[in-house]
Structure 1
């Protein structure tokens, strides 16, 4: 999913070189190469040799990927609307802060219990 999102942000007419996607995501090019082949098999992206240098593979989204991403974006928008209709942004921020505090206390309790064992 992160590769697809990176391509959404970076994509140009000729696609995006694998090494550019890797730099953006701060991971190795081999990871992008491996997973882009899987995404190509699922028809989410195209891998084409670079026009200037065929050793550099360029990635671009397929129409299928664009439709799926648009569908996900619409669902996310509905979810955001549902959440923020119930809680305002300030209330949501307060809730998130409370939940972080609870998580922190639970982690401390777990560590304390482990030390006693």
Structure 2
């Protein structure tokens, strides 16, 4: 007498669902490991993981004019008040400058200090070596393609969240 297999594992859509579940667990695990790395880099500067993310967002976004709190909060998917509170702490520690916009007094432009750029630069070789290890299986084209697919998935997930919110 053989074992009875669940129709769950033989139905094509069910197999797809199994793969999707596995994929979402892998992404969750990747997020945990990325968070651990963020805390490692943050600790090197004596700040928190979320504060590190704010500094990294500014390093990526600032074109010399500073970056509004709202733009950073949107990039990090956090409330603007959180960025405001954390950026004030970072300013006190000398990691960033906060300046009221000349065009609109309600907008605060944030930028990194020279001290912060130097500290980030001092970690660059470690970060590059780690990235080489992490992404060793990808050539440049494969990594770009994979990143594009993840961006597309992220955009669909954002739309799915809106759809679920509307439907509830």
Verify same fold: TM over 0.5. Answer: yes
TM-score (normalised: structure 1):
0.66
Correspondence for 2:137: 89
Distance (Å, rounded) in 1 between the aligned partners of 2:131 and 2:82: 32
Alignment partner of 1:25 out of 76, 86, 90? 76
Please say if 1:68 is aligned against 2:155. no
Distance (Å, rounded) in 2 between the aligned partners of 1:63 and 1:50: 20
Correspondence for 1:77: 128
Gaps of 5+ in 2: 1-51, 139-168
**Total equivalences in the alignment:** 86
Post-superposition shift, 1:42?
0.9
SS of alignment partner, residue 103 of structure 2: coil
Question: What is the aligned-residue RMSD (CA, Å)?
Answer: 1.8
Correspondence for 1:57: 108
Please say if 1:34 is aligned against 2:85. yes
TM-score (normalised: structure 2):
0.47
Correspondence for 1:109: none
Structure 1's consecutive aligned runs of 4 or more residues displaced over 2 angstroms after TM superposition are: 77-81
Cα distance change of structure 1 residues 80 and 23 upon mapping to structure 2, 3 Å threshold: closer
